[in-house]
C-alpha cells in the first residue's frame, strides 16, 4: 500500500493514471492528513474541502486528455488568485472572493491538479518568517519551536509534513529558497519572467517570481513544465529553454562549480553548519567529476535596486486592497516609510537591477554554477517578528536573505538543495545559482546531488 504522505508528484500522478487510485481517494487522504496535522503547524489559511472534492470527482469522470498533474493535490500561496476565495496576501484587508483563477492556478487545473487550499504567509510576503497578526505563527514540521522560514512558509510546512506532495510559493527576496532550506525541500527560483504573474504585470516589479516547493527535483520540473511561459500582459519574460523534466532526468556533464561562503550582505556571519554544508557539497561535486574550486565572487551591492522595489511592491499591493485600515500596523508603517519611492524612483530601481545583474553575472565568466549557503543562520525560534516594527524586522531578516536576495535583483535562476539534517535535527540547504536562463543546468546538477546524497522526503515526528 502506497504511503501517500511520502508519495511524490510523479508517483501520485502515475498511480491515478494507471487506475491504482482515484483522484477522490487521493484527495480524501490528503484532507485527512491536513485535518490531523495542520492544527499543530498552521500551514493552511483555508482548506477548500468541498470544492476540492468536487474537482477530484470531476477528474475521475474525465477519461481523455488527462494532464501530467491529473489528480495531484496542490496547495497555493495566499498571494495568488483562486476563484471563489479571497486573495488575502496574508492579512484581512481584502474581503471579496476572486472571480477567476490567476493564470498559474488556471494552468495547474488544466494539467489535472486538484487545488486543496491556500497557505499562510506574512502580510504581502514582506518577511522571511511566516508570522502575522491575522494568521498567527506557522511552525516548522521538523521542530515546531522553529520557523519554517518565509514568505512561502505555509507552503513549505504543508509539503514537508506530507500534507500535500507539492505547493506553489513566490520568491521576491528568497521566499521559495529560504523556507525550502528551513524545511528540507527543493526550491528553485526560476529566471525572472519564466512564470507568468498574470493577471498582474509583475510581482514586486523586477524582484518576484512564482514557483513550486517540492520534495524532489523531478516534481519541481514537472510543475514548472506546466506553469512556465509568459503572457502579453507580463512585464518580464525569460529566454528560451527546453523541457525541465528532460533536464532533471539527464546527467549534467562535467561542470565548473565555484563555491564561496562569503555573504553578499556585509556584517553577516554564516553559521558553521552552513559553511560545512557548502564544503561537504563541494567535495561531493568533486567526487562526482566536476571541476570545483573556491572563488571570490566580488558581489555587487544590490541595496539601491532592492530596497525601492521592496517598498514599491508593498505599496502597490497595499494600494489595491479593499480595506487599507485593516492592514497590520507594521505593514502600514512600511507603507509610510516607503513614501519616497515614487514611480520615477521605482523605474530607476528596475533599471538599476539590470546594472546589478550585469555585475553579478561576471562570476559566470569562469564557472557554470555558483555554490553558496542558502541562509546564514539556522531556522530561528518562532516569534521572530513579535513586537518588531519595520526597521527591526528588516534587521532580523538580514541573515535569512544575505545570500539569496541578490539573485532576485539580478534575475538569475537559483535553487536551494537539501543536504540532510544537522545535529540540531533541522534540515540544511545549499544554494546553487545558474547563468541567466539556465534553469536546466541547475535541475540536472540538483538531481545528481539528490541521487548521490538522498534527503528525507517527509519530516520526522516533530519535537
142 DSSP 8-state letter: T
Yes or no: say if 237 and 221 are a contact pair by the CB < 8 Å rule.
Answer: no
DSSP class of residue 362 equals G
Of 315, 308, 293, which is closest to residue 351 (Cα–Cα)?
308
CA-closest candidate to residue 455, choices 267, 181, 254:
181
**Residue 77 annotated in active site:** yes
**Which of the four pLDDT bands, split at 50, 70 and 90, describes residue 460?**
low
Query: Collapsing DSSP states into helix, strand and coil, what is residue 40?
Result: helix
Average pLDDT, the chain: 96
For residue 66, how many other CB atoms are within 10 A of its CB? 16
Integer angstrom CA distances of residue 399 from 17, 129, 165, 214, 376: 44, 12, 29, 23, 5
SS (H, E, C) 48-112: CHHHHHHHHHHHHHCCCCCCCCCCCEEEEECCCCCCCCECCCCCCCCCCECCCCCHHHHHHHHCC
Does the pLDDT of residue 189 top 60, yes or no?
Answer: yes
SS3 398: helix
- At 463, the pLDDT band (50, 70, 90 cuts) reads very low
Query: Is 9's pLDDT higher than 50?
Result: yes
Q: 436 with 191: CB under 8 angstroms?
A: yes
Give 212's contacts (C-beta < 8 A, 6+ positions apart): 166, 167, 168, 169, 187, 188, 219, 220, 223, 224
Distance between CA 104 and CA 226 in Å, rounded? 9
Model pLDDT for residues 32-79, shown as the tens digit of each residue: 999 999 999 999 999 999 999 999 999 999 888 899 999 999 999 999
- Catalytic residue (choose from 45, 132, 134, 151): 151
pLDDT band, residue 462 (cuts 50/70/90): very low
270-309 residue pLDDT tens: 999 999 999 999 999 999 999 999 999 999 999 999 999 9
Residue-wise pLDDT for 219-274, tens only, equals: 999 999 999 999 999 999 999 779 999 999 999 999 999 999 999 998 999 999 99
The continuous run of DSSP H or E covering 317 comes out as helix 303-320
Quick one: cell of 362?
561576471
Angle at the Cα of 49 (from 22 to 98), degrees rounded to 5?
120
Nearest-angstrom CA–CA distance, 129 and 138: 8
Per the CB < 8 A criterion, the answer to whether 403 and 264 are in contact is yes
Q: What is the SS3 assignment for 280?
A: helix
* Predicted confidence (pLDDT) at residue 457 exceeds the cutoff of 90: no
Cis geometry, peptide bond prior to residue 348 (ω within 30 degrees of 0) = no
> Distance (Å, rounded) from C-alpha 438 to C-alpha 367?
13
Residues 6+ apart with CB under 8 A from 25: none
Grid coordinates in use for 347?
A: 523605474
Residue 458 pLDDT > 90:
no
User: Quick one: average pLDDT of 344-351?
Assistant: 98
Residue 203's φ and ψ, nearest 5 degrees, are -125, 105
What is residue 236's predicted lDDT score, i.e. its pLDDT? Answer: 97
Of residues 77, 134, 180, 416, which has the active-site annotation? 77
Task: Between 184 and 460, name the one with better pLDDT.
Answer: 184
pLDDT value at residue 353? 98
Residue 207: closest CA among 313, 102, 355: 313
Domains of the chain (ranges, CATH numbers): 9-452 (3.90.1300.10)
Rounded Cα gap, residues 419 and 454, in angstroms: 8
Cell digits of residue 160: 514537508
Given 8, 152, 161, 175, the catalytic residue: 175
Q: b/e map of 105-144 (b: 16 or more CB within 10 Å)?
A: bbbbbebbbbbbbbbbbbbbbbbbbbbbbbbebbbbbbbb
Give the DSSP letter of residue 238.
P
Instruction: Answer yes or no: 175 catalytic.
Output: yes
Question: What pLDDT score does 230 carry?
Answer: 93
d(CA 311, CA 454) in angstroms, rounded, equals: 39
**What sign for the dihedral angle of Cα 238, 316, 264, 138?**
negative
Amino acid at each position: 500500500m502506497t504511503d501517500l504522505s511520502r508519495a511524490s508528484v510523479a508517483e501520485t500522478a502515475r498511480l491515478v493514471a494507471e487506475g491504482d487510485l482515484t483522484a477522490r481517494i487521493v484527495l480524501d487522504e490528503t484532507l485527512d492528513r491536513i485535518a490531523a496535522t495542520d492544527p499543530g503547524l498552521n500551514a493552511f489559511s483555508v482548506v477548500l474541502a468541498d470544492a476540492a472534492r468536487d474537482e477530484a470527482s470531476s477528474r475521475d469522470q474525465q477519461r481523455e486528455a488527462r494532464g501530467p498533474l491529473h489528480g495531484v493535490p496542490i496547495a497555493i500561496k495566499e498571494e495568488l488568485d483562486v476563484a471563489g476565495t479571497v486573495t488575502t496576501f496574508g492579512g484581512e484587508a481584502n474581503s471579496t472572493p476572486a472571480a477567476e483563477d490567476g493564470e498559474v492556478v488556471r494552468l495547474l487545473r488544466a494539467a489535472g491538479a486538484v487545488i486543496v487550499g491556500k497557505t499562510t504567509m506574512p502580510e504581502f510576503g514582506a518577511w522571511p518568517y511566516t508570522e502575522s497578526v491575522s494568521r498567527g505563527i506557522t511552525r516548522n514540521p521538523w521542530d515546531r519551536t522553529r520557523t519554517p522560514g518565509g514568505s512561502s512558509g505555509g507552503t513549505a510546512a504543508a509539503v514537508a509534513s506530507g500534507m500535500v506532495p507539492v505547493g506553489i510559493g513566490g520568491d521576491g527576496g528568497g521566499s521559495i529558497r529560504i523556507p525550502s532550506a528551513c524545511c528540507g525541500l527543493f526550491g528553485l527560483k526560476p529566471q525572472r519572467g519564466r512564470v507568468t504573474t498574470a493577471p498582474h504585470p509583475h510581482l514586486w516589479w523586477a524582484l518576484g517570481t512564482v514557483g513550486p516547493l517540492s520534495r524532489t527535483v523531478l516534481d519541481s520540473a514537472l510543475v514548472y513544465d506546466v506553469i512556465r511561459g509568459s503572457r502579453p500582459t507580463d512585464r518580464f519574460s525569460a529566454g528560451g529553454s527546453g523541457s525541465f523534466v528532460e533536464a532533471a532526468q539527464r546527467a549534467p556533464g562535467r561542470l565548473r562549480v565555484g563555491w564561496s561562503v562569503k555573504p553578499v550582505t556585509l556584517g553577516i556571519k554564516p553559521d558553521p553548519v552552513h559553511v560545512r554544508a557548502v564544503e561537504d557539497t563541494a567535495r561531493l561535486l568533486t567526487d562526482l567529476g566536476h571541476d570545483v574550486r573556491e572563488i571570490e565572487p566580488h558581489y555587487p551591492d544590490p541595496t539601491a535596486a532592492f530596497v525601492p522595489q521592496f517598498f514599491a511592491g508593498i505599496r502597490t499591493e497595499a494600494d489595491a486592497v479593499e480595506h487599507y485600515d485593516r492592514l497590520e500596523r507594521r505593514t502600514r508603517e512600511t507603507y509610510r516609510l516607503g513614501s519616497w519611492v515614487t514611480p520615477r524612483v521605482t523605474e530607476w530601481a528596475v533599471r538599476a537591477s539590470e546594472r546589478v545583474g550585469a555585475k553579478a553575472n561576471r562570476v559566470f565568466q569562469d564557472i557554470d554554477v555558483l555554490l553558496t549557503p542558502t541562509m546564514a543562520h539556522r531556522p530561528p525560534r518562532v516569534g521572530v517578528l513579535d513586537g518588531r516594527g519595520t526597521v527591526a524586522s528588516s534587521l532580523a531578516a538580514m541573515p535569512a536573505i544575505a545570500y539569496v536576495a541578490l539573485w532576485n535583483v539580478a534575475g538569475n535562476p537559483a535553487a536551494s538543495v537539501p543536504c540532510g539534517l544537522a545535529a540540531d535535527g533541522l534540515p540544511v540547504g545549499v544554494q546553487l545559482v545558474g547563468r541567466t536562463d539556465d534553469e536546466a543546468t541547475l535541475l540536472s546538477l540538483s538531481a545528481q546531488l539528490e541521487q548521490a546524497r538522498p534527503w528525507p522526503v517527509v519530516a520526522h515526528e516533530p519535537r
